Structure 1
Amino acid sequence: MKVAKEHFLIVAFLLLPTAPCSDVPAGEVRAWRSTITLPTYPWQEDVNPKFWAMDKGPRFSTTVRGAIIYPYTMQDHLSRRKAAKTYQALMLENEYLKVVCLPELGGRLYSVLDKTQNQPMFHRNRVIKPGMIAMRGAWISGGVEWNTGPHGHTVTAVSPVDATLGRGPDGSAFIEVNNIEQIFRTRWTVRVTLHPGRAYLDERIRLFNPTDTPHP
């Protein structure tokens, strides 16, 4: 009988708060769906999967023959012309932080704004311009990305994943993103929670392997 295996990782992103600066009342967390429009250099997926001959065993790279990405296709048709693109966004906000998550770009945290200083916690790209870095090719920098399953900048780096908003019993709100990775058939879930009156984020990661074989 197969036994499903789950692994947990809890991380907290911490900021030392000064005076709160917000139109959100103290002790309240708002959560909502919105959109964000960004200048974007688009990319296209190859219509055919890559079948590379193995040289000396499997490789986890887009730059060598034998890279493992099947059944995914490459995302290596990168445009040099930018255009405005509107993305779906999930938002969290309290008096200290404002969080923007983009499910269409791997569920990454696009930005976390420290409202007390009006400064981003992480680098925030004003333009979405991919380079050939990820396992499938296209990859963008900035924010926080979720890399599970295959090694490195993974197969969903700039691909849509499932995402939802939820509430905790203490008045907190969370964004939860998840995906079933098709190479190893593992599943991952990340829940990012913003608590009332707190200047940090809780991050809970769950990895689920329903197979009999260890996987990355």
Structure 2
Amino acid sequence: MRYATLRPASPSPELVAHQPTDWPTIAPATQTAPATHSAAHTATPPLVTRPPTETPFEIPASPEPTPMATTTASPTALPTTDPEPVWVYWDEIKIDTYAYEEARYTDPNGAGHPYPLLNWDRVGPPRPRTYRTLVMRNEYLELTFLPDLGGRLYQCRYLPTGQTLLYNNRTIKPTRWGPPDQGWWLAVGGIEFALPVEEHGYLTAEPWTPDVIRGDDGSAAVIMRIEEQSRQIAAEVEIGLRPGEAGFEINSTLRNLSDESRPLQYWINAMLSPGGHGVEPTWRFYYPTSDVIVHSRGDESLPDAFERMPWPIYDGRDLSRYDTWHSRLGFFAPDLDAPYTAVYDEVARIGMVRTFPPVIARGAKLFAFGQDVDTDAYTDDDSRYVEMWGGLTATFWDDFTLAPQAAVGWQENWYVIADCQGISYANEKAAAYAFREGDELSLAVCAPAARQWEIEIAQDEHDLIRRSLTLRPDVPFHERIALAPGSETLPIAIRIIDETGRIVISFTA
């Protein structure tokens, strides 16, 4: 469901105003009529609400996430009261930042675009800097945005345990990566929106214009807008959060404002570190495909760029396990068997799932550094992260041509999975994991919202389980099922059915 259908609601009794000259200050504001989307947008939405007990925050020096609570059974009933509406409020964050802004300069004729280049000799040492943030929060997730650094979703925090899902560089640092015709990229973290060329695009360090809309059901959405100058593309990214859900929607719309066709690329790049700050050997990557195309690699035992590589097993190595990675590897997965990708930490017991419409969003990419890589190029604390990309084109080597005055867009869903053990199949409604060990089947089901469904498990046309299934985002379903002796090679059919009789998930273990 597109959040474009949302209408700004009347302000609630608790309102705050963002003060342009002193924006850390939160002060009560008088009620005003809701703005319409046809009105001019300023750099700061005028009125948003916030929880009364919140305070400004900083990146912690050494975060220690709360361990996942052990959950071994489904809740017996769904919540009987409606969840509270989504909170939205302004805040601030202090981050050490290299003095790169003084080193920027433009050379439109030489570079072929109007965006800043970097004089590396003029980049100064890091210093504390305060950034404004826009925060959305429900009972399960807290989403923090940095409008002035690419309009990025900077952090996603899972509130039942306090664990974070996105990587945040503790010192924002310019790197020599990025588009070849720009020659640098700002290593910040979070989820960035890369346009209009490959390798992070031109806009991830540019300020985007934020807006906030609310829905009658208590949902809210943050909209980030920018007009890309080299190709005259108006970009709008809308991130929506509903009450009582541990997931969010990303709606992207690109519109060609010119009278000429424009070749372009658009990618959503999530820099992930679920459960803490950095990458752990216990991470698993879930890309449902049998082969991938290598984009780049530092590990010379792997196929070179442009070559296909079996996935996940290559030369006896299970590359879905991060502890088998060396140096660096990036690959595209244009032929997924199902439209999802995911990352999960088996020890922290938390991860992130992305689902998307593959007819439009054809690109899926994974990139990570191994534990043996020197990280000084992008960070000062030896931390690592994984990039999970999704895009309009299948690879960085392809362009999408947008016709004059035409638009393209899609909605994708991201959600947290907690205590789900892994992933065998996922879609926008749920993720399931099934693991066979001898004469026993271990099953886990996670959903981003509270659900009352039916589950059916059968083997060789004999029912093993047929009963109701109740889920909450913080309480997954777990079951261990005894199998008949000698049935180890017989497939197991697993189906989850919603209250209308429609199949939510169906797969074979």
TM-score calculated relative to the size of structure 2: 0.33
Superposition deviation, residue 76 in structure 1: 4.2
Q: What corresponds to 2:204 in structure 1?
A: 157
- Any gaps of 5 or more consecutive residues in structure 1? 1-7, 9-17, 20-24, 53-66
Answer 1 or 2: higher relative contact order, Cα 8 Å, separation at least 6: 1
TM-score calculated relative to the size of structure 1: 0.75
Query: Is residue 51 from structure 1 mapped to residue 98 from structure 2 by the alignment?
Result: no
The alignment partner of 1:32 has SS state of strand
Higher-Rg structure is: 2
Tell me which of 166, 185, 197 is aligned to 2:213.
166
The alignment partner of 2:148 has SS state of helix
Query: Is residue 74 from structure 1 mapped to residue 131 from structure 2 by the alignment?
Result: no
Tell me which of 166, 169, 178 is aligned to 1:122.
166
Do 1:134 and 1:157's aligned partners in 2 also have CA atoms closer than 8 Å? no
Distance 2:123 2:104 in 1: 13
Superposition deviation, residue 128 in structure 1: 1.3
Do 1:139 and 1:158's aligned partners in 2 also have CA atoms closer than 8 Å? yes
Superposition deviation, residue 142 in structure 1: 1.8
**Equivalent residues in 2 for 1:86-125, closer than 5 Å:** 86-125=130-169
Superposition deviation, residue 28 in structure 1: 2.4
Tell me which of 241, 256, 260 is aligned to 1:194.
241
Tell me which of 34, 48, 55 is aligned to 2:91.
34
The alignment partner of 1:215 has SS state of strand
Q: What corresponds to 2:433 in structure 1?
A: none
The alignment partner of 1:81 has SS state of strand
Do 1:50 and 1:74's aligned partners in 2 also have CA atoms closer than 8 Å? no
Do 2:227 and 2:235's aligned partners in 1 also have CA atoms closer than 8 Å? yes
The alignment covers a number of residue pairs equal to 180
Q: What corresponds to 1:84 in structure 2?
A: 128
- Which range moves more in the overlay, 188-197 or 205-214? 205-214
Distance 2:116 2:249 in 1: 33
Do 2:185 and 2:200's aligned partners in 1 also have CA atoms closer than 8 Å? no
Do 1:124 and 1:143's aligned partners in 2 also have CA atoms closer than 8 Å? yes
The alignment partner of 2:255 has SS state of strand
Deviations 1:122-168 (A, max 9, x none): 22222212212123323214210001222221111112111122212
RMSD: 2.2
Superposition deviation, residue 72 in structure 1: 1.9
Runs (4+) of structure 1 exceeding 4 A deviation are none
Q: What corresponds to 2:442 in structure 1?
A: none
Superposition deviation, residue 50 in structure 1: 4.8
Distance 1:164 1:128 in 2: 25
Superposition deviation, residue 196 in structure 1: 0.5
Q: What corresponds to 2:230 in structure 1?
A: 183
Do 1:76 and 1:138's aligned partners in 2 also have CA atoms closer than 8 Å? no
Tell me which of 244, 255, 266 is aligned to 1:208.
255
- Any gaps of 5 or more consecutive residues in structure 2? 3-70, 76-81, 265-509
